[in-house]
Amino acid sequence: MLQGLAIPTGAEIEALAAAAGCELAGVAGIGPVADFGRFAGWVERGYAGRMGYLTDHRAALRADVRELLPPARSVICVGKLYNGPEPYSTEFTDTERGWIARYAWGEDYHRVLRAALSELAGALERLCGPFEWKICVDTAPVLERSLARDAGLGWIGKNTCLINQARGSWFFLGELITSLPLLPNDRLAADRCGNCARCIEACPTAAIVGAPDGRYEIDSRLCISYLTIELRGQVDEELRGRMGRHVFGCDICQDVCPWNRGAAVTEAGVFAPGDFAPSLERLAGLSEDEFQAMFKPTPVERARYRGFLRNVAIAMGNSGSARMLEPLLKLTAHADAVVAEHASWAVRTLESYLDSALGRPQ
């Protein structure tokens, strides 16, 4: 009991979360997170790349949510669907248009999910009375997929995404750490990846690698999402040709997952694309102010203007389209040395492809 009122059941929490706009919800218990050792090993193997926020003093906080909220007694984990009706990247063949990861098409999910969790916290306070709570959405040092699995939302697939058997993997995850003594989930979802290796086989850069414990993990240094979002500066030349038309993030390992065939589609219009798969030529011509105006409400802003142009140059080099030569030549004169170098590489790559396609001597 709290403030003389009954503590809500799991079903009641699911209903409150649904009212706040979250399709999945469950409760994880408090204590050391079982996967923290795997996370620490992943960091030690260098797979975090240059993402210092995963390896600095905050890394140890991921071992136990009580490091973030000492009186914590439960964690409510939620999943908010963002999948839309548009085709998957593996079904989209227009090489003159850039691919932006599905999660980044609409409004920034941090704001949307934080608002939903705030609404959930308010509903719980009206039911239970005051309690201590903390919202975590992606940026907080928690192992959110492990907590979501423990809360019964799904299993962690070979592509390291949380997969829900009924609805697929297109979910934003968030946590409400609470001082409420909620009853935790006691039945984990079965791992239903089986012998399937489609995500591993489909990854263009072979970023899904075997872990020492027999499971799988992501070598971020090879992952297209890392290369197009987190990595600043030069992209290794041997990886550029494998990045395809991706200008921000990558969906391939989810696109090919059998559990995403006929996956649930969100009704939340905030995640709909303002400009689905925009023209590479248009993107290459954006000024910094135009980039901000086009992408400021979305997660794409994280790549930063110069990083985004670098990605666009790589995508144009991989396009196989002669139309991309003119905008690429303009980018070779860009004031930023990294953008100019990647544009020069793209020009050489594209000219070599066109010569080969036309049977011209190289």
Q: Average of pLDDT values for 82-97? A: 96
Same-domain check for residues 243 and 159: no
Give percent of the chain with pLDDT exceeding 70: 97
What is the structure's pLDDT at 297? 86
Catalytic residue IDs: 138
Token pair 């308010």 in the structure block, residue: 122
Same-domain check for residues 250 and 337: yes
Residue 133 domain-assigned?
yes
Q: Average of pLDDT values for 16-44? A: 97
Mean of the per-residue pLDDT values for the chain? Answer: 95
Same-domain check for residues 136 and 284: no
Residue 283 domain-assigned?
yes
What is the structure's pLDDT at 81? 98
What is the structure's pLDDT at 118? 98
Q: For 33-58, what is each residue's pLDDT tens digit?
A: 999 999 999 999 999 999 999 999 88
Q: Average of pLDDT values for 131-146? A: 95
Is the confidence at residue 361, as pLDDT, over 70?
A: no
Same-domain check for residues 305 and 338: yes
Is the confidence at residue 30, as pLDDT, over 90?
A: yes
Same-domain check for residues 66 and 163: yes
Residue 289 domain-assigned?
yes
Q: Which of 122, 165, 129, 14 is nearest to 76 (CA)?
A: 14
Q: Average of pLDDT values for 168-185? A: 97
Same-domain check for residues 79 and 196: yes
- Dmax (CA) for the chain in angstroms is 84
Same-domain check for residues 212 and 315: no
By the 10 Å C-beta count (0-12 exposed, 13-18 middle, 19+ buried), 269 is classed as exposed
204 Cβ contact partners less than 8 Å away, ≥ 6 residues apart: 224, 242, 243, 244, 252
Say how far apart CA 201 and CA 253 lie, in whole Å.
Answer: 9
Same-domain check for residues 142 and 3: yes
Q: Which of 220, 250, 269 is the last residue of a domain?
A: 220
Same-domain check for residues 180 and 55: yes
Q: Which of 156, 187, 220 is the last residue of a domain?
A: 220
How many structural domains does the chain have?
Answer: 2
Residue 98 domain-assigned?
no
What is the structure's pLDDT at 6? 73
Q: For 112-127, what is each residue's pLDDT tens digit?
A: 999 999 999 999 999 9
Q: What band does 356 get if pLDDT is binned at 50, 70 and 90? A: confident
Say how far apart CA 247 and CA 277 lie, in whole Å.
Answer: 10
145 backbone φψ class: left, alpha, beta (φ>0; ψ -120 to 50) = alpha
Token pair 């962690």 in the structure block, residue: 156
Q: Report the DSSP beta bridge partners of residue 80.
A: 172
Same-domain check for residues 59 and 34: yes
Residue 94 domain-assigned?
no
Half-sphere exposure of 108 (CA within 13 A, CB side): 16
Residue 91 domain-assigned?
no
Residue 226 domain-assigned?
yes
Q: What band does 3 get if pLDDT is binned at 50, 70 and 90? A: very low
Q: What range defines the domain where residue 322 resides?
A: 221-358
Residue 124 domain-assigned?
yes
What is the model's pTM?
0.94
Q: Which of 220, 246, 263 is the last residue of a domain?
A: 220
Same-domain check for residues 13 and 159: yes
What is the structure's pLDDT at 300? 97
Q: Average of pLDDT values for 14-25? A: 98
Same-domain check for residues 187 and 254: no
Q: DSSP assignment, residue 236?
A: P
Q: Are strands 74-81 and 24-28 parallel, antiparallel or unpaired?
A: antiparallel
